[in-house]
């Protein structure tokens, strides 16, 4: 029995790890106890990657700060107003028609607007960008009838046209000068 106790003690002493060699922590074991030359560079490589990550984070933060400084240093310039003219479209007659016309859209851009099944008479004053021709088109429905479109720019009547019969069509157009 004395021999067996001794074998157990020897096996336990060999499997204890750093305490068995007298080293105080794992790094002392790696440098002093095992003689493994690869352990030192691995530890240094981890330290360098931490420095690289910290440097990249600092650069990103600096970039965001500079972006904020340069984009908020003054008030944003006011959007340039689109030069335009006031145009009045008018459709008279009886019955219902489909109407298409040019106008300045909500975003400030040129837009084509369509209204279907409109009961007559109908009148609309809109802004149209300079350089774009104001236009209004009408199409009668299957019941036919008679309808007249008219166009006025800045209050001055320019053109009128009449549509009649089943699916009759008429178009009125004008010309606006190009913006300066």
Q: Which of the listed residues 71, 98, 123 is the one where a domain comes to its end?
A: 71
Rg of the chain taking only CA atoms, in angstroms:
43
Token match 């145009």: residue?
87
Confidence label for 95 from pLDDT (cuts 50, 70 and 90)? confident
Closest CA to 152 of 132, 172, 171: 172
Same domain, 67 and 91: no
Residue 79 domain-assigned (yes or no): no
- Tokens at 164, concatenated: 């009649």
Token match 């790696």: residue?
30
Contact 112, 100 (CB under 8 A): yes
Residue 118 domain-assigned (yes or no): yes
Average pLDDT over residues 3-30: 45
Same domain, 123 and 164: yes
Q: How far apart are CA 134 and CA 175, in angstroms?
A: 7
Q: How far apart are CA 139 and CA 128, in angstroms?
A: 22
Same domain, 67 and 123: no
Average pLDDT over residues 155-161: 92
pLDDT at 8 over 60: no
Domain carrying residue 115: 84-173
Confidence label for 14 from pLDDT (cuts 50, 70 and 90)? very low
Average pLDDT over residues 99-119: 89
Residue 147 domain-assigned (yes or no): yes
Tell me how many domains the chain contains. 2
Closest CA to 139 of 167, 107, 111, 173: 167
Which of 11-20, 40-49, 52-61 has the lowest average pLDDT?
11-20
Same domain, 36 and 110: no
Strand, helix or coil at 46? helix
Residue 25 domain-assigned (yes or no): yes
pLDDT at 173 over 90: yes
Residue 76 domain-assigned (yes or no): no
* pLDDT given for residue 79 in this prediction: 60
Residue 178 domain-assigned (yes or no): no
Strand, helix or coil at 56? helix
DSSP-derived secondary structure letter, 73: S
pLDDT at 58 over 70: yes
Computed over every residue of the chain, the mean pLDDT equals 76
* pLDDT given for residue 52 in this prediction: 77
Residue 78 domain-assigned (yes or no): no
| CATH for 104 | 2.60.60
Q: How far apart are CA 108 and CA 78, in angstroms?
A: 13
Closest CA to 137 of 167, 166, 165, 109: 167
Q: Is 165 exposed, middle or buried (0-12, 13-18, 19+ CB in 10 A)?
A: exposed
Which of 20-34, 69-83, 113-127 has the lowest average pLDDT?
20-34
Token match 């493994």: residue?
36
Q: Which of the listed residues 19, 43, 71 is the one where a domain comes to its end?
A: 71
Same domain, 93 and 137: yes
């Amino acid at each position: 029995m004395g021999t067996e106790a001794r074998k157990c003690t020897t096996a336990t002493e060999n499997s204890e790890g750093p305490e068995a060699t007298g080293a105080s922590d794992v790094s002392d074991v790696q440098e002093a106890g095992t003689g493994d030359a690869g352990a030192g560079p691995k530890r240094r490589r981890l330290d360098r990657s931490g420095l690289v990550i910290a440097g990249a984070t600092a650069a990103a933060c600096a970039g965001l700060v500079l972006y904020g400084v340069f984009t908020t240093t003054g008030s944003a310039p006011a959007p340039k107003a689109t030069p335009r003219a006031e145009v009045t479209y008018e459709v008279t007659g009886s019955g219902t028609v489909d109407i298409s016309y040019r106008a300045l859209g909500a975003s400030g851009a040129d837009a084509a607007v369509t209204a279907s099944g409109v009961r007559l008479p109908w009148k609309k004053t809109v802004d149209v960008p300079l350089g774009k021709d104001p236009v209004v088109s009408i199409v009668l429905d299957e019941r036919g009838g008679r309808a007249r479109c008219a166009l006025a720019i800045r209050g001055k009547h320019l053109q009128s046209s009449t549509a009649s019969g089943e699916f009759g069509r008429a178009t009125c157009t004008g010309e606006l000068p190009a913006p300066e």
